Structure 1
Amino acid sequence: MADNKRNSVAGKVATPKTTGSGAPATQSALPETHEAIAKAIGARVKLTTAAPESHTYDGTLYTADPTTNVVVLNTRVAATNPSTDLASQPSDYRIIPIPRIQSFQIVSLASGERVRESESGIASAKPSIAAVDIRRLEKRCEDRVRALKEQEKNRGKGVSKEGQAIFDAFKRINTQVRWHDQQMIVSEAVIITPPYRVEDCKGSKDKQEALIRIKKVLEGERRKIKEKEEKERRTGTPTGPRKGG
């Protein structure tokens, strides 16, 4: 039964409909043509294009795309192993618009008729489609939500651009810092109030060592921010986020 089917298909010619003047088929005739061609994907075919530039091509039909209305033909010699996947064969691809096809002939069918009707679908897709790891997707989603919440928490409300830059600088050097309204709480020991200068740092008597250290860090970061702004003014181009501390 299957042999009879193969014999009846092989050698058939699918010729696009033409107008009375012999011109290539119009758009209305293409769906029928495309359906006939698509059934031959993987087969060895011979097709001829219409005048004025008429050419005959012989090769393996790689694909037929209904969206762009073209076929892709691999004109290199077919692989010696008939079970070799089309994508792994030596290739010399030629893209041909379907409306330009004057005649189309199947020379030989693909081995095993390529994909049988009972084998179509996701289970037989090439390359195979792996199972979706739901737990991994959920974790990625949770991580992303956590990162967005952290970004929002680190964004000061109603603070100056310089104040946010100083806060971000503390973060980059892994110094614990958080917002309390418009005040920065650094290392849970020092409070920096606007406009976030060294003299705006406050700490209790038992936190003086931390206060001195944080003042030095703040002084260095303010100097770097100022140098960056001066460089931007000179060049007229933003330098972008500064890496490192």
Structure 2
Amino acid sequence: MEIMAAVNECFSLGSTVACKTCFKQEIEGEVLAFDPQTKMLILKRPASNNRSSLNDVHIINLALVSEVQVTKEVNNLPQVPLSLNLQKLNIRVRNQIEEKRRLVKALAAGVSPDGQKLFLAISKTITDIAWQGSNIAVWNSVIITPPYKLDNVKGTPEKAVSHIKKVVEKYLKDQAMSESTPTVGLLPEASPVQL
């Protein structure tokens, strides 16, 4: 693997850099940060979901990059200081930690992978969700028992049960579709973080 000489130099904030990873993925973006000791480069580019209020942020280990090229050099610092929304990042960290705790609790209870996936699917839209042993409890009133199918959704009020059944039904349809769709390639591409 050959890394170009630019890696040994510093990248200027605001410059545009193009990289080719060892997985042949090409990433080009604006330099947010560079640590020459660890050879870690942080690039910002427009959001992959086309939302103008968001950006994709790639953290790149230059030790795993086959090509690096500065496509646009910026010698003076940008007029507007670059900053990250620390409050938003802290909330995301707390949410990720809580999600990992829930997964650990599910693993300790011996919950099947299907149950874990359903739990995560529901938790994306409903935050009042918890494990009760191997059962999924939503709003403390709706319980989903193994094997986590539509017939396993019980509780009150009926409106809440009906809503959760729709969520479970959508999840089961999505799972069936994803299992019938062949996957392409052996290695997943790195997914960017959106801020």
Higher relative contact order structure (alpha carbons within 8 Å, sequence separation ≥ 6): 2
TM range (shorter): 0.3 to 0.5
When normalised by structure 1's length, the TM-score is 0.35
Higher helix share goes to which structure?
1
Higher strand share goes to which structure?
2
Which structure has the bigger radius of gyration? 1
